[in-house]
Amino acid sequence: MAFGREIAARTEQYWCPIKHARRIKEAHKRYPRFFEYGDAESCQKGLERLRRQYYPEETHEKR
């Protein structure tokens, strides 16, 4: 289950990193980095930065 949750979290971070309009009960660990719902300007400006953070920090450092 944890593996599937991580795949879903990474997919969401890469393709649609926008927080939901309603609060969700159990957000994954990547969710706090997402853009606020309705904030299109921040999303457009920060999408590439967020996509670069796709890999865990320990892996990202080695690249």
Give per-residue pLDDT as tens, 4-61.
988 888 888 888 888 888 888 888 888 888 888 988 888 888 888 888 776 655 444 4
What predicted TM-score, i.e. pTM, was given to this entire model?
0.62
The four Cα atoms 5, 18, 54, 32 give a dihedral, to 10 degrees, of -80
User: Domain range for residue 49?
Assistant: 2-62
Q: pLDDT class for 63, splitting at 50, 70, 90?
A: very low
Q: Name the residue with tokens 């997402």.
A: 34
How many domains is the chain partitioned into structurally? 1
Measured CA to CA in angstroms, residue 21 lies from 33, 37, 53, 58 at distances of: 15, 6, 23, 31
The predicted pLDDT at position 3 comes to 92
